[in-house]
């Protein structure tokens, strides 16, 4: 793979930035990668594990002469970081982010950026429940979507960023801002809220959580606990900044939940069966589209 950006700066050295760094090295798409994280401890860890070619003690230093600057911090602090680095950006460089929410992040970042800097927001649809500089790995983005939200950005700068993400293993798709936030509310934000709630309910039932949860939990509840172990700062910010879309989808979700509750109470087995049949087809569709690498291959029939 050839070099796409000479110098890349990663601001915020957590799961996503560290995965980006290892994937950048694997692909050889940048000559030099600088990094900055707010806490001294994170910077020390980064230096110890060789995360980034140069770990800087300020964001201003990290973005100096960078051709691509990627903001990899929680969505609630994107604006403050943009304000800090804006006067020090190289003319003609691209600024991007990996935030899980787009409308509020664009509103927070864009006003700070000088003319002559290209702003191309992006969002890799890949992650784990882990966070911090030691949680990243180079295959995180392989065969995952990276949503690009150009929002009027320069075409050449957008295509260049797409080439970069493709080199990191992702497939790119462009989306407009509102659509992005609504889709992510459905496929990511509300599922996380449901997992947090389910694990919280189990925890409230102390008797259950102290013994039975650990002892009897099979795949179903374990999947919920994995998701509910996700970073509290990141997810607090997601819900506070994607209020409109998450409240709308949550409203739809509770309506459906009440309908199912009614079916259980009235003994409407047909309604429950039809509902579960419909949702099962969705799961199979995801697997057939090759989006779940851990799932069994339904095409091969039942396991022997
Ligand atoms: N974790 C996921 O599954 C996932 C997936 C896609 C996108 N995202 C988005 O990526 C971004 C980063 O998420 P992550 O999972 O890598 O989080 P993380 O908690 O692993 O890392 C965030 C990093 O940002 C640093 N940071 C926080 N405030 C800062 C500031 N003011 N200045 C500089 N650094 C600061 C933290 O110290 C930490 O190193 C978030 O915006 C999140 O919404 C996360
Ligand atoms: O795989 C996970 O654990 C994730 O939570 C990743 C996940 C998701 O919900 O799919 C989480 C947040 C993102 O913005 C994108 C991806």
Identify whether 206 is part of a domain. Answer: yes
Q: Which atom of ligand 2 is nearest to the CA of 129?
A: 3
Which residues, other chains included, contact 107 with Cβ-Cβ below 8 Å and sequence gap of 6+? none
162 with 183, same domain?
Answer: no
Identify whether 42 is part of a domain. Answer: yes
Q: What pLDDT, in 10s, does the model give residues 43-91?
A: 999 999 999 999 999 999 999 999 999 999 999 999 999 999 999 999 9
pLDDT of residue 298: 34
Q: Which of 175, 204, 230 is the last residue of a domain?
A: 175
Helix axes 232-241, 243-266, angle to 10 degrees: 100
Identify whether 302 is part of a domain. Answer: no
Instruction: Measure 207 CA to ligand 1 centroid, in angstroms.
Output: 35
Q: What is the CATH number of the domain that holds 240?
A: 1.10.3660.10
Per the structure, the count of domains in the chain is 2
Confidence of residue 297 (pLDDT cuts 50, 70, 90): very low
Q: What pLDDT, in 10s, does the model give residues 85-109?
A: 999 999 999 999 999 999 999 999 9
Q: Please indicate whether residue 15, judged by its CB atom, sits closer than 6 Å to ligand 1.
A: yes
pLDDT of residue 302: 30
226 with 87, same domain?
Answer: no
Q: Stretch 147-166: mean pLDDT, rounded? A: 98
Q: What is the CATH number of the domain that holds 138?
A: 3.40.50.720
133 with 266, same domain?
Answer: no
Question: Is a pLDDT exceeding 70 seen at residue 294?
Answer: no
Q: Which of 14, 101, 184, 188 to mutate to test the pocket of ligand 2 (most atoms within 8 A of CB)?
A: 188
Instruction: Measure 224 CA to ligand 1 centroid, in angstroms.
Output: 21
Domain hosting residue 183, numbered range: 179-291
Q: Are 294 and 286 in contact (CB under 8 A)?
A: no
The DSSP code for 76 is: G
Q: Which of 134, 154, 175 is the last residue of a domain?
A: 175
Which residue lies with its CA nearest to atom 14 of ligand 2?
Answer: 100
ipTM score = 0.98
29 with 139, same domain?
Answer: yes
152 with 212, same domain?
Answer: no
Question: Is a pLDDT exceeding 70 seen at residue 281?
Answer: yes
Q: Which of 14, 123, 126 to mutate to test the pocket of ligand 2 (most atoms within 8 A of CB)?
A: 126
155 with 18, same domain?
Answer: yes
Q: Are 1 and 29 in contact (CB under 8 A)?
A: yes
Q: What pLDDT, in 10s, does the model give residues 111-139?
A: 999 999 999 999 999 999 999 999 999 99
Q: Which of 175, 204, 219 is the last residue of a domain?
A: 175
Q: Stretch 202-220: mean pLDDT, rounded? A: 70
Q: Please indicate whether residue 100, judged by its CB atom, sits closer than 6 Å to ligand 2.
A: yes
């Amino acid at each position: 793979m050839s070099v796409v950006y000479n110098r890349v700066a990663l601001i915020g050295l957590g799961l996503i930035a560290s995965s980006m760094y290892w994937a950048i090295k694997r692909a050889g798409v940048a000559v030099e990668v600088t990094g900055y994280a707010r806490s001294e401890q994170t910077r020390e860890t980064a230096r110890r594990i060789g995360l980034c070619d140069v770990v800087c003690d300020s964001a201003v230093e990290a973005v100096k002469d960078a051709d691509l600057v990627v903001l990899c911090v929680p969505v609630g602090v994107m604006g403050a970081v943009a304000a800090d680095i804006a006067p020090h950006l190289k003319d003609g460089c691209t600024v991007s982010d990996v935030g899980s929410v787009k409308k509020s992040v664009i509103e927070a970042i864009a006003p700070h950026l000088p003319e002559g800097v290209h702003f191309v927001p992006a969002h890799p649809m890949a992650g784990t429940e882990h966070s911090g500089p030691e949680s990243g790995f180079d295959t995180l983005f392989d065969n995952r979507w990276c949503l690009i939200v150009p929002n009027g950005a320069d075409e050449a700068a957008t295509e260049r960023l797409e080439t970069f993400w493709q080199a990191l293993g992702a497939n790119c798709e462009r989306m407009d801002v509102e659509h992005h936030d609504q889709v992510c509310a459905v496929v990511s934000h509300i599922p996380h809220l449901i997992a947090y709630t389910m694990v919280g309910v189990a925890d409230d039932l102390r008797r259950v959580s102290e013994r039975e949860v650990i002892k009897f939990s099979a795949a179903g509840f374990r999947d919920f606990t994995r998701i509910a172990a996700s970073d509290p700062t990141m997810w607090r910010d997601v819900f506070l900044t994607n209020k409109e879309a998450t409240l709308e989808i949550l409203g739809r979700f509770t309506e459906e939940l009440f309908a199912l509750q009614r079916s259980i109470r009235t003994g409407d087995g047909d309604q429950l069966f039809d509902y579960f049949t419909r949702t099962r087809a969705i799961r199979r569709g995801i697997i057939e589209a090759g989006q779940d690498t851990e799932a069994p291959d339904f095409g091969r029939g039942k396991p022997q």
